[in-house]
Amino acid sequence: MTPTRDLAGYRVVAVHAHPDDESISTGGALADLARRGADVLVVTCTLGEEGEVIGETYAQLIADEADQLGGYRIGELARALAALGVRGTFLGGAGHYRDSGMAGSAASRNPRAFVNCGEGGVDKLAEILEAERPHLVITYDPNGGYGHPDHIRAHEVAHAAAERTGVPRLVWAARLRSELEGGLPAQAPDGWRLPAPGELDAVDGTETWVELGEETYRAKVEAMRAHATQITIGEAAGPEGLTTYALSNLITQVITRREHYRSGAGAPLRAGGGLLEGIAK
């Protein structure tokens, strides 16, 4: 069925730290917005060079070996964005800022690390926002979702650039604990484990959500599947028959049928309302 193009004329920019964040955190909303006619751009701040990889196939690409993971992830990101039906660009160009790694790591002391971008990162994102004139910016909450320094810096840069350029609304992606934990299967797939109570990053309440219809849900699954160095897609399982996945830590998670969002800056979200509701074209 042809989707309603009720969002034609709207422009959306999502600001993410690494390739794969756009698909895991916001893939459903991005695909839904694009299918409904909005022009959606994903700004990725680093190449994810410091990421871990799954299995032996790509093991020698990591930073401590060939240090080629970032270049490989450019291709993964391109395939994921194609699955979502959205555009993409890198902040400052591909490779301008480097993955900072976790807090206190040697990678965070690299002058090119994104956490060290200073006002230059804000300037570069403001240039993009001035050119795009988005009605909506999507990014992380102040904790970056789960505390990664690059996520936190993406939050800071997005807020500063959005305020400078007068973006009407900025929202934070979030995961609702009850849905995330309630959809888990009773047993983990072979080789994986179930999360401990409270182990997954999640919140207990949000302002609104995006329902993922079948086509949008499949688009998100395929976008996540494109990031094969980072994500393993499993089978449908659990009480709700949700698709399972795991990162390199092999902790079982599920792709929920809703993506949740919270008000960050500008016009607040209406409880249960659309991400662009109340914003004039």
SS3 sequence of 44-81: ECCCCCCCCCCCCCCHHHCCCCCCCHHHHHHHHHHHHH
Asked, for residue 185, whether it belongs to a domain, the answer is yes
The whole-number pLDDT of residue 2 equals 64
Residue appearing with tokens 């910016």: 137
Kind of pairing between the strands at 258-266 and 87-90: unpaired
The whole-number pLDDT of residue 101 equals 96
Domain CATH for 70: 3.40.50.10320
- Give the H or E element holding residue 14: strand 11-16
Asked, for residue 231, whether it belongs to a domain, the answer is yes
Handedness of CA 72, 75, 78, 79 (dihedral sign): negative
The residues near 55 (Cβ < 8 Å, ≥ 6 apart) are none
Asked, for residue 55, whether it belongs to a domain, the answer is yes
Contact assessment for residue 276 and residue 36, using Cβ atoms and an 8 Å cutoff: no
For residues 41 and 166, give the distance between their C-alpha atoms in angstroms, rounded to a whole number: 17
Going residue by residue through the chain (281 aa), what tens digit of pLDDT does each one get? 567 899 999 999 999 999 999 999 999 999 999 999 999 999 999 999 999 999 999 999 999 999 999 999 999 999 999 999 999 999 999 999 999 999 999 999 999 999 999 999 999 999 999 999 999 999 999 999 999 999 999 999 999 999 999 999 999 999 999 999 999 999 999 999 999 999 999 999 999 999 999 999 999 999 999 999 999 999 999 999 999 999 999 999 999 999 999 999 999 999 999 999 999 99
Asked, for residue 97, whether it belongs to a domain, the answer is yes
Asked, for residue 271, whether it belongs to a domain, the answer is no
Owning domain of residue 78 = 11-266
Q: Which amino acid is at 91?
A: L
The whole-number pLDDT of residue 182 equals 95
pTM of the prediction? 0.97
Asked, for residue 102, whether it belongs to a domain, the answer is yes
Asked, for residue 275, whether it belongs to a domain, the answer is no
Give the total number of structural domains in the chain.
1
Asked, for residue 281, whether it belongs to a domain, the answer is no
